[in-house]
Amino acid sequence: MAADEVQIKKKRGPETPSSANLLQDDEKKRLPEYSTREEEFIGENYLETNSASVTEPAATNGLDYLHEGSALLKWTRRNGVPHFKFVQLSSDNTYLRWYSKRKAADKSTIMISDITAIQKGQQTDVFKRSTQPQLEVASFSIVYNDGSDTFDVVAKGSDEAEIWFETLNQLFERHQNGVDVTTIDNLPVQLQYVDRYRCGNRELLTRISGNTSLAEADKKILRKEISKASNKLKKITKIMNKSSFSNHPDCASLVDYFQELQERKGLVDEFLGTSTNDKISRSDVWRLNVDCDVILEKSEVCAKELS
């Protein structure tokens, strides 16, 4: 769908929960912010990168993206509220890890050798207990430990889900065929994925036109959200000043990711002042906080492991 064809609808921002979406009809359980902020973007291709004029997108090395890692919305096994976690593939391709202050490293790590299946959509029991069909296009699961455990997540768009799924599936299949995964340095995915929210790609986001500018009162609220992101970045700075993350095997790109967040914060604030697309602006601020949250948690977890 072309940007100028997108109908702009007023939706809540990250700061004002919508009572209509807070409770599931069947389980009366709070739904994640994600379900009301990004589901519309998945449907309207705001997060997609393929243009209608492009017949065959260039291949992406999926390992590059998975080695850097990204925020994925993780479903919980005990019917809790889903939370964003920073998820990444190890540099030697032998394990997948997410970072949680509540779990030891061995409880938040999946060895590639322990994977039994990778599934698209919301097929597992964990998903079925808290199904959200509007997010299925960006959902996938990893089944491991002989099928006794599942890792169930929703990406921030169908393209991001595809690059995770296709890369992991190729890695899993090669391991199944006896290939030493530590020797693999390229897994091509026929998808040119670009995260439009991040520095270097933001023109793809900010050029999406709209006809609904934010009121000054709304801008004030969103700037408070940007201030929250600033406070999180200050906490990360303190942690980094005390820890040598170069000594941690999973932190090769952590400093670069943090520096990108610092730069992005200023760009998000700047765009908020000039945007004519209220939905994009709200999601931009919300997404900044999501990324700050997961990088802060990863920093805290890894700093503790180094101490």
User: Per residue, what are the HEC states of the chain?
Assistant: CCHHHCCCCCCCCCCCCCCCCCECCCCCCECCCHHHHCHHHHHHCCCCCCCCCCCCCCCEEHHHHHHHCEEEEECCCCCCCCEEEEEEECCCCCEEEECCCCCCHHHCEEEHHHEEEEEECCCCHHHHHCCCHHHHHHEEEEEECCCCEEEEEECCCHHHHHHHHHHHHHHHHHHHCCCCHHHCCCCEECCCCCCCCCCCCCHHHHCCCCCECCCHHHHHHHHHHHHHHHHHHHHHHHHHHHCCHHHCCCCCCHHHHHHHHHHHHHHHHHHHHHCCEHHHHHHHHHHHHHHHHHHHHHHHHHHHHHC
Q: Is residue 5 part of a domain?
A: no
Q: Is residue 16 part of a domain?
A: no
Position of tokens 């993206």?
65
pLDDT confidence of residue 57: 60
Q: Is residue 132 part of a domain?
A: yes
Give the Cα separation of 38 and 51 in Å (integer): 20
Cβ of 131: how many Cβ atoms within 10 Å? 13
Q: What's the domain range around 159?
A: 21-189
Query: 173 and 254: one domain?
Result: no
Query: 234 and 161: one domain?
Result: no
Give the Cα separation of 88 and 25 in Å (integer): 34
pLDDT confidence of residue 209: 85
N residues, the chain: 307
Position of tokens 């009121």?
215
* CA proximity to 175, closest of 104, 96, 86: 96
Q: Is residue 14 part of a domain?
A: no
pLDDT confidence of residue 175: 98
Cβ of 46: how many Cβ atoms within 10 Å? 22
Query: 158 and 51: one domain?
Result: yes
Q: Is residue 1 part of a domain?
A: no
Give the Cα separation of 231 and 292 in Å (integer): 10
Query: 132 and 161: one domain?
Result: yes
Question: Are 173 and 70 contacting, i.e. CB atoms less than 8 angstroms apart?
Answer: no
pTM given for the model: 0.83
Question: Residue 128 maps to which CATH number?
Answer: 2.30.29.30
Give the Cα separation of 271 and 273 in Å (integer): 5
pLDDT confidence of residue 3: 39
Question: Are 165 and 120 contacting, i.e. CB atoms less than 8 angstroms apart?
Answer: yes
Compute mean pLDDT per 10 residues along the chain, 307 residues long, and list them. 36 32 34 44 42 56 97 87 96 98 96 98 93 92 96 95 97 98 97 92 92 91 97 98 94 96 98 93 96 98 96
Question: Are 203 and 194 contacting, i.e. CB atoms less than 8 angstroms apart?
Answer: no
Question: Are 118 and 173 contacting, i.e. CB atoms less than 8 angstroms apart?
Answer: no
Final residue belonging to a domain, choices 142, 166, 189: 189
Number of domains comprising the chain: 2
Final residue belonging to a domain, choices 166, 189, 212: 189
Query: 215 and 254: one domain?
Result: yes
Query: 47 and 109: one domain?
Result: yes
Query: 274 and 154: one domain?
Result: no
